[in-house]
Amino acid sequence: MPRPFWSSGIASGPGSESPSPPPPPPPPTRSERVLGHRLTSEIEIEAEAERVWAILTDFGAYPEWNPFVRAIEGALAPGARLAVLLQPSGTRAMAFRPTLQVVEAPRELRWLGRVLMPGIFDGEHRFVIEVLGAGRLRFEQSERFSGILVPFMRRSLDRDARRGFAEMNAALKARAEGGAGTA
């Protein structure tokens, strides 16, 4: 079974300084502008960053709440290889084995997945939590796609992956705000 990967921010209490959010991904290179594509979806959540991080990293509970990333297996450590199963609503499931690039609790998770070899179809997926105030945060999910197959897949990425991001973000918000799941 595959496993997803997320990112989050750091919660701050009254009187403490809130660290700045992780830096945005670098601007696209010339070849990425031609052979690349980016998707981003964000949502505000009324919960502490640690709670959202706990839900995101409880991969075993994904089938209970996550309508997009159906399963993830693997260690939560940079360099670890994951097994991930994605299934945007109305589509077939897709399994792949990305490598975790960044695990920065409770702030950012990032993986890099590839089809066959670098340059064919690569996807760098980020999950970032940015604290907005006490008990309030912005969750951002994004992916930067690159490779020779991207121009042929833009339409399905825009339709299916974008919908999957939004569905997962809404389900994460409901779980974090509703009190169900990991504390």
Angstrom distance (rounded) from CA 163 to CA 81: 26
Angstrom distance (rounded) from CA 46 to CA 6: 18
CATH number of the domain that residue 112 is part of: 3.30.530.20
Residue 22 lies in a domain: no
pLDDT digits (tens, 9 = 90+) for 43-87: 999 999 999 999 999 999 999 999 999 999 999 999 999 999 999
**What's the confidence (pLDDT) of residue 2?**
41
Predicted model pTM: 0.80
pLDDT digits (tens, 9 = 90+) for 83-142: 999 998 888 999 999 999 999 999 999 999 999 899 999 999 999 999 999 999 999 999
Residue 54 lies in a domain: yes
Residue 77 lies in a domain: yes
Give the confidence band of 23 by pLDDT, cuts at 50, 70, 90: confident
Residue 13 lies in a domain: no
Count Cβ neighbours within 10 Å for each residue of 162-171 and write b for 16 or more, e otherwise: bbbbbbbbeb
Give the confidence band of 34 by pLDDT, cuts at 50, 70, 90: low
Is the pLDDT at 10 greater than 60, yes or no?
A: no
Angstrom distance (rounded) from CA 181 to CA 79: 28
Residue 20 lies in a domain: no
Question: Contact at 8 Å (CB) between 110 and 125?
Answer: yes
**What's the confidence (pLDDT) of residue 110?**
98
Is the pLDDT at 11 greater than 50, yes or no?
A: no
Angle value at C-alpha 62, between 7 and 78, nearest 5 degrees: 40
Residue 88 lies in a domain: yes
Residue 183 lies in a domain: no
Give the confidence band of 27 by pLDDT, cuts at 50, 70, 90: confident
**What's the confidence (pLDDT) of residue 32?**
61
**What's the confidence (pLDDT) of residue 33?**
65
- Report the relative pairing of strands 69-73 and 36-45 from DSSP bridges: unpaired
- The total domain count for the chain is 1
Is the pLDDT at 35 greater than 90, yes or no?
A: no
**What's the confidence (pLDDT) of residue 19?**
59
Distances in Å between the alpha carbon of 164 and those of 47, 92, 123, 132? 22, 12, 15, 24
Is the pLDDT at 14 greater than 70, yes or no?
A: no
Residue 5 lies in a domain: no
Domain that holds residue 137: 30-178
**What's the confidence (pLDDT) of residue 18?**
52
First to last CA, the chain: 24
Angstrom distance (rounded) from CA 24 to CA 33: 17
Phi, psi of 11 (to 5 degrees): -80, 150
